[in-house]
Chain A
């Protein structure tokens, strides 16, 4: 029994072949195809290829190709004529009877500054009268980043390291020209972005433009100095905190404003003097929230595209 077991174990480990003496073994021979079979096989294969890829002889294919071309031209002509007809029905630019010139825009222009405390009418309009729409847009940005994260985020540590190595393979690690220019430009870009965000109610701009400028500055910094240096002041934790705090703050401010401020009910957010930096009631905090959100989104897109993480 023990010998049997030993033999079995030996066979299992590949040390000895149990059948080596007891069985007649025929040495294996490499399979060689005969010349005629090879030719036959190749001929059949060629026949199939010819039938499938016969582009010029296949009548169905020729018809379909012609059909596609004709339909493409017809569709383009139809689409262009539809657009031209639509444009011809539009009201003339700058006419007083246009449907745009109704009581809504009149009120925005005449009483906008008084009611919102913002010199910049556009900012006052989209962040107070239509703050709810802008909240939806900010949510769209949030959802877009979530989708990119689902698609591109890499959780596996080894894969992530490989991705990081791959990322920097085809480019110089320390480009002196880029670094020097970024050294001068980045602070200017950041300050300009912050200026646009904070001055949203006074001068042209606002949360979205300023946030985009700050995001572009962050991307310039990262491409010049690498992710390692950028992660000292902007990592995943800070990203999460900033993004979610901004969105929640916006939601809270907007909700408070809509619950208390609608229909002339007294709300406790002072409007300030139009033209001062602390004016415009809820416009300034909402601008800061939108700016943070947009800057985070831009940077997150770039980081996720580059290496699948922060």
Chain B
């Protein structure tokens, strides 16, 4: 395991811990997105490029977008709304 992979794994652990400590839901989703992106690079390092493609498209792309839309549906993006009304 080289230095690059160790760095990626450390970042992964950091992301996983910080998601549960973040108070803002929007921040949580952004952290989750970066988690998926790093995970897809790790899949590439572990020599499974097909999983990397799927992870990047589904994990970082579609799932996060669905989370965003859900947040909007339940009116959880408060700060953005404040800016709009000003």
Q: Which A residues contact B (CB, under 8 angstroms)?
A: 120, 122-123, 170, 196, 204-206, 208-209, 212-213, 215-216, 219, 223, 298, 301-302, 305-306
B40 to A: closest C-beta gap in Å: 11
* Complex CA–CA separation, A302 to B72 (angstroms): 13
* Complex CA–CA separation, A208 to B50 (angstroms): 9
* Complex CA–CA separation, A212 to B72 (angstroms): 23
Interface of A is mostly: helix
B56 to A: closest C-beta gap in Å: 8
* Complex CA–CA separation, A244 to B53 (angstroms): 26
Which A-chain residue is minimally distant from B83 (CB atoms)? A170
Find chain B residues with CB under 8 A from A298 CB: 62
A301-B62 contact, Cβ under 8 Å, with A208-B54, A209-B54: yes
B interface residues, how many (CB within 8 angstroms): 18
* Complex CA–CA separation, A298 to B65 (angstroms): 11
Find chain B residues with CB under 8 A from A123 CB: 50
Which one of A196, A206, A302 contacts B66 once the chains associate, using CB atoms below 8 Å?
A302
Determine whether the beta carbon of A209 is less than 8 Å from that of B62.
no
A302-B50 contact, Cβ under 8 Å, with A209-B57, A213-B57, A216-B57: no
29 A-B contacts, Cβ less than 8 Å apart? A120-B50, A123-B50, A170-B80, A170-B84, A196-B53, A204-B48, A204-B50, A204-B53, A205-B50, A205-B53, A209-B50, A212-B54, A212-B57, A212-B58, A212-B62, A213-B53, A215-B57, A216-B61, A219-B61, A219-B62, A223-B65, A298-B62, A301-B62, A302-B65, A302-B66, A305-B66, A305-B70, A305-B73, A306-B69
Q: Give the contacts of B15-60 with A (CB-CB under 8 A).
A: 48-50, 53-54, 57-58
* Complex CA–CA separation, A212 to B80 (angstroms): 29
Find chain B residues with CB under 8 A from A219 CB: 61-62, 65
Find chain A residues with CB under 8 A from B61 CB: 212, 216, 219
A301 to B: closest C-beta gap in Å: 6
A305-B53 contact, Cβ under 8 Å, with A212-B58, A298-B62: no
A137 to B: closest C-beta gap in Å: 12
* Complex CA–CA separation, A289 to B33 (angstroms): 28
* Complex CA–CA separation, A213 to B72 (angstroms): 24
Find chain A residues with CB under 8 A from B72 CB: 170
Find chain B residues with CB under 8 A from A208 CB: 54
Find chain B residues with CB under 8 A from A209 CB: 50, 53-54, 57
* Complex CA–CA separation, A213 to B53 (angstroms): 8
Find chain A residues with CB under 8 A from B57 CB: 209, 212-213, 215-216
Most chain A CB inside 10 Å of its own CB: which residue of B50, B57, B70, B73: B57
Find chain A residues with CB under 8 A from B65 CB: 219, 223, 302
* Complex CA–CA separation, A196 to B73 (angstroms): 33
Given A123-B50, A170-B84, A302-B65, 19 additional A-B pairs, CB 8 A:
A170-B80, A170-B81, A204-B49, A204-B50, A208-B54, A209-B53, A212-B53, A212-B57, A212-B58, A212-B61, A213-B53, A213-B57, A216-B61, A219-B62, A219-B65, A301-B62, A301-B66, A302-B66, A305-B70
